Amino acid sequence: KAGVTQTPRYLIKTRGQQVTLSCSPISGHRSVSWYQQTPGQGLQFLFEYFSETQRNKGNFPGRFSGRQFSNSRSEMNVSTLELGDSALYLCASSQIQGAVNIQYFGAGTRLSVL
Amino acid sequence: AQSVSQHNHHVILSEAASLELGCNYSYGGTVNLFWYVQYPGQHLQLLLKYFSGDPLVKGIKGFEAEFIKSKFSFNLRKPSVQWSDTAEYFCNTGTASKLTFGTGTRLQVTL
């Protein structure tokens, strides 16, 4: 089974631009979560989608948005980029077993904002 | 809300030393606990998980963790570390829709 695939792996943008990151989950996984990883803040939860609906959201500004398609692929968009948005963005797809969320992570997209 | 805290931010051990990384969780109903590992340049991988049952959980690569309810702890252990265990380790807890990560512990194993 193929793992979680994130594209692109690296991105360089300038302040004020917008960016879209893509995530293809493991086949059969319907839940996709997004995280931001920085040296200072660690791993912070952005949002989670399940069956094309945002089910949970972290404490990030509205510039961060996402969506999920009918094939469970997900995209994350960041508008009006700021320097502080430079981070590794991780996507995880989930195998839900009852109330338990077992997440499998992609390699991430490293975003640098100049 | 559920949360976890990891008190060791950076641990340096010699090869063959024993390892114990601390993780404490806040009570929030049903407890689901995980340890993930991130090797340099690689993606996060699940080491082990606890949902219920035997409080001593065994994971991959010789790691184990013990759920101690009275101490709200889920510490990660390994009897003898190897240089290849150099990585960042994350304790986390979660529900069906959200995982909350600890700040991570960077483990450096020296030869």
Q: Is the pLDDT of residue B83 over 70?
A: yes
Residue A65 pLDDT > 70: yes
* Per-residue pLDDT at A85: 97
Q: If pLDDT is split at 50, 70 and 90, which confidence band does B97 have?
A: low
Which pLDDT score, from 0 to 100, does residue A53 have?
94
Strand partners, A45: A35
Question: Between B43, B51, B100, which is nearest A106 by CB?
Answer: B43
Whether A101 has a pLDDT exceeding 80, the answer reads: no
Is residue A56 predicted with pLDDT exceeding 90?
Answer: no
The pLDDT score that the predictor gives to residue B98 is 74
> Three-class SS of residue B71?
helix
Which chain B positions have a beta carbon within 8 Å of A104's beta carbon? 46
What lies within 8 Å, CB to CB, of B75 at 6+ separation is: B20, B21, B22, B23, B65, B66, B68
Using one digit for the tens of pLDDT, what is the confidence trace for B15-58? 999 999 999 998 667 778 999 999 998 889 999 999 888 999 99
End-to-end Cα, chain B, rounded Å: 41
pLDDT of A83 reads 96
Cα dihedral B32, B35, B38, B39 sign: negative
Average pLDDT over residues A71-82: 96
| The pLDDT of residue A98 | 62
Question: CB-based contact (8 Å) between B11 and chain A?
Answer: no
What was the pLDDT predicted at A40?
A: 80
pLDDT at A49: 93
Whether residue B43 and residue A103 make contact (CB cut-off 8 A), yes or no, is no
User: Which of A36, A100, A109 is the mutation pick for testing B, counting most B CBs within 10 A?
Assistant: A100
What pLDDT does B3 receive?
83
Interchain pair A35, B51: CB under 8 A:
no
8 Å CB contact of B97 and A102:
no
CB contact under 8 A, B46 and A102: yes
pLDDT reported for residue B100: 84
Chain-chain contact of A90 with B44 (C-beta, under 8 angstroms): yes
Strand order in the sheet with A64-68: A5-7, A19-24, A74-78, A64-68
Residues of chain A neighbouring B96 (CB-CB closer than 8 A)? 96, 98-101
Token output for B22: 């601390």
